[in-house]
């Protein structure tokens, strides 16, 4: 019972934290790249 609640809590935490980690990585890549390549990437998306 307790292990099940712990698994649910861990999955919720990772669900909320993973997008923030992905956004942080994307922002870090954007800062690492020059502006023109960022604009090309955004135009591609």
Rounded to whole angstroms, how far apart are CA atoms 16 and 11?
A: 9
CA triplet 21, 3, 11: central angle to 5 degrees? 20
| pLDDT tens figures, 14-41 | 777 777 777 776 777 666 666 666 677 6
Quick check: 30 and 38 in contact, CB under 8 A?
yes
pTM, whole model, 2 decimals?
A: 0.38
Write down the pLDDT at residue 30: 67
Instruction: For residue 3, give the nearest of 38, 23, 11, 40 by alpha carbon.
Output: 11
Rounded to whole angstroms, how far apart are CA atoms 16 and 23?
A: 12
């Amino acid at each position: 019972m307790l292990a099940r609640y712990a698994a649910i809590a861990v999955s919720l935490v990772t669900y909320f934290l993973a997008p923030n980690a992905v956004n942080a990585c994307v922002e870090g890549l954007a800062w690492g790249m020059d502006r023109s390549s960022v604009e090309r990437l955004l135009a591609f998306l």
